[in-house]
Amino acid sequence: MVQGIEGASFEDTGYSYTLSLIRGEHKMSILYCLMEYEPVRFNEMRRYLGGVSDRTLSRSLKKLEADSLVSRREFPQIPPRVEYSLTERGASLMDMLDRLCAWGENNRPGSK
């Protein structure tokens, strides 16, 4: 049974929690990039996303890593090499992201 809005809080919903993980500068784009091409090196991702600064990309990747959606693998070599990929938790979001992509393909102007 659905209760009235009195006493309800959007912050307490699963929807709000999910948004808190993927909301922010380029997070969805990063997840999409990793879904399509993982593993991806930092510079490859920056080129793919276009127009994102190193600082912004680095900050977003760190947040995704802190939320256990993205893993960072560092290779001890000169020059240093770092690759990013989805964690199991991050991969579990991909069904939802796939549906968003399909909706966009079907509903953007000029489709069909």
Q: What global pTM score does this model have?
A: 0.83
Domains and CATH numbers, the chain: 15-103 (1.10.10.10)
Query: In this predicted model, what pLDDT tens digit does every residue of 50-67 receive, in sequence order?
Result: 989 999 999 999 999 999
pLDDT tens per residue, range 1-49: 566 888 888 888 888 888 888 888 899 999 999 999 989 999 999 999 9
Helices (H), the chain: 14-22, 27-37, 42-49, 54-66, 88-91, 94-107
